Amino acid sequence: MNPSHEHHHSGAVVTEVQMSVEEMEMREWKRKLIGSWIFGVPLFVLMVVMRIFGITLFSEVIDVALFLILGFPIVFIFGFQTIKGGLRGFYTFYFNMDSLIALGTVIAYLTGIFSYFEIVADYSGVAGAIMAIFITGKYIESKAKGRASQEIKKLLELGAKKALILRGNKEIEIDISEVQIGDVMIVRPGEKIPTDGVVVKGESAVDESMVTGESLPVEKKAKSHVIGATINQDGILYIRASKVGKDTFLAHIIKLVEEAQGTKVPIQKLADKITSIFVPVILVLAVLAFVNWWVFTGELGRALGVAIAVLVIACPCSLGLAVPISLMVGSGMGAKRGILIRKGEAIQTMKQVRVIVFDKTGTITKGKPEVTDFYSKIDEKYVWEIAASLEKQSEHPLSRAIVSHAALKKYKEVKSFKILRGRGVEGTVGTKKVVIGNRTLMNEKKIKLNSYAKKVEEFENLGKTTMIVAENFKVIGIIAVADAVKEDSVEALKELNAEGFRTVMITGDNERTAEAIAKQVGISEVIANVLPEDKARKVEELQKEGFVAFVGDGINDAPALKQANVGIAMGSGTDIAIESGDLVLAKSSLTGVVEAIHLSRATFRKIKQNLFWAFAYNVIAIPVAIAGLLHPIIAELAMALSSITVVTNANLLRRKRI
């Protein structure tokens, strides 16, 4: 984000105008593009008919007037900012790509007026043609760069807007900005928690996936800490606000995202640097050519024609198109494969990446619990009927996983159902007392695992959540639930390892679960027990050893995605993760990471080729123009041809197999 776009440190105030600057810029160039070609098409037709084929449609006076009329809006209305910015360089001595365009178009346009006084030949049509081509390049560039990142705005939208506060014996609704430390907030099921705090009363499960990325809800009771913007699920919570405004977790994440928005150096900067030297050199050459031809021939018109030809032929339109057009083609190819390139510089940076860091939940895994194993010494069908009938009464994700897996058409009657928070569920199914839950619950109910103990330990060692099913105080089965690995994660990791990438998994999970998943997919390094706010710091540490790509999907991944040299976001992830990514994998498949690497390499090769051809064209063409062998119109066509060459070469990328 542009540093000039100020907002409060709390991140509470960001205006719509500030957040859509780049988008507005793209729309502006689109408007100029349409406007310039409305006048540009008839201008080009007239130039071809009159100047190339030598057909005079009317009189010379009217022909020139047509060029001046058609060229005026292109040059001085749609190209006004370019002319203004380019000419500014002549009194600030800061020259850019616009400087040659501005000078060349203005001089060429003025020749049309001076031709009436028979001072010089008319080149006014060239002026409109140059500017129309230039505006086209600028529009492509603005589009290729993509729309402005809205990550801060997206983050702000995550927070609750109102809070229900207990004042005395009254419940009053206030704006989130009015919440003070010590206020007791009432949060009902399904509502967002307004701000960070501590539970003073009530029990519930809280969905913290948007913060932690972990799929299972976290059980909360008195004295539990909660995070603002997370979602309360099934119980009423009374929460005492402990942090407000800029001190909250969400505001902290916002700050991290802002800080991690470092400037990455694309190859475009090299082009711009060369241009800053190239432009003054061309200006000097144009002046010398003008003086030389005027002194030695005494023909002002001829000398002016040579100078315009030098300026026009040197107009770095192809240079301006080289990068954005390659990006646009690469972006189009990526889009067809579900790879969305949001930041053009990632194309350059990707080829230098040697370390790829993966978030676990929702990235390597599916992000939702599924039944993975079942063990019983009695009839399997009977155990599933009992388990699914009881678990159907609960909305807990683990319960839903069991019910979904069982897929019963008819459920048994359940009485005296009770949720034992953080431990499991119990109830009467038919005439039998049934308990389903973890080891803690079994110990609490004095239910012995006996011969099932070894199997429970085996599942737990694999990092799975183990649900023990007991009937009348006797274990009858074990159900293992885990966040299953995506089908194509193993294949993708295998290919990345084969290509010599160092693969690392970073997760908030415990080491046992993390190691189990890593072993399953073939990841060599694991960094476990990482707090959400520490992910970016871990990435920064890895960056000391080289360029790092980070693949993630949750709000907690946003700072890490920004910190990494290349951030790759899963399309199924949160909006903030997607907005923080340089590349977005719409299909949420890790095979997209492999394809993105291949696409980046191929696109960058095209960029380098195009820059070479753009510079080579200038090196060859400029001496020819100085020698007076190029009419400005031929120079304009040559310039257009160089742009066409660049565009054509970029489009050859489409034939490349990724």
Q: Which residues are catalytic?
A: 359
What is the three-state SS of 156-175? HHHCCCEEEEEECCEEEEEE
Phi then psi for residue 355, to 5 deg, are -115, 130
Across 52-134, the runs of DSSP E, i.e. the strands, are none
End-to-end Cα spacing for the chain:
32
Contact assessment for residue 580 and residue 558, using Cβ atoms and an 8 Å cutoff: yes
CA-CA-CA-CA torsion sign (496, 497, 500, 503):
positive
Query: In whole angstroms, what separates CA 563 from the centre of its chain?
Result: 13
- Exposure string for 323-348, b = 16+ CB within 10 A, e = fewer: bbbbbbbbbebbeebbbbbbbbbbbb
Whole-angstrom Cα distance, residue 607 to residue 555? 33
Q: Are strands 583-585 and 566-570 parallel, antiparallel or unpaired?
A: parallel
Phi then psi for residue 129, to 5 deg, are -65, -45
Look at residue 366 and give its three-state secondary structure. Answer: strand
Two tokens, residue 522: 């073939």
CA-CA-CA-CA torsion sign (159, 2, 316, 352):
negative
Contact assessment for residue 426 and residue 418, using Cβ atoms and an 8 Å cutoff: yes
Beta bridge partners of 206: 218, 232
User: 339 Cβ partners below 8 Å, 6+ apart?
Assistant: 583, 584, 585, 586, 592, 595, 596, 599
Q: Which residue is it, tokens 């919570």?
A: 237
H or E element: which one contains 232?
A: strand 231-232
Whole-angstrom Cα distance, residue 303 to residue 133? 25
User: 41 Cβ partners below 8 Å, 6+ apart?
Assistant: none
Q: How many CB atoms lie within 10 A of CB 92?
A: 8
Q: Are strands 502-506 and 353-359 parallel, antiparallel or unpaired?
A: parallel
* DSSP output for 185-210: EEE-TTPBP-SSEEEEE--EEEE-HH
Whole-angstrom Cα distance, residue 333 to residue 655? 10
* DSSP output for 529-591: S--GGGHHHHHHHHHTTSEEEEEE-SGGGHHHHHHSSEEEEETTS-HHHHHH-SEEETT--TH
Side chain identity at 146, as an amino acid letter?
G
Contact assessment for residue 236 and residue 261, using Cβ atoms and an 8 Å cutoff: no
Contact assessment for residue 411 and residue 429, using Cβ atoms and an 8 Å cutoff: no
Q: Which residue is it, tokens 């540093």?
A: 3
Q: Which residue is it, tokens 């299953």?
A: 484
Whole-angstrom Cα distance, residue 257 to residue 250? 11
Whole-angstrom Cα distance, residue 538 to residue 563? 10
Look at residue 431 and give its three-state secondary structure. Answer: coil
Contact assessment for residue 584 and residue 335, using Cβ atoms and an 8 Å cutoff: no
For 5, 146, 148, 149, the CA distances from 23, given in Å and listed in that order, are 14, 8, 6, 9
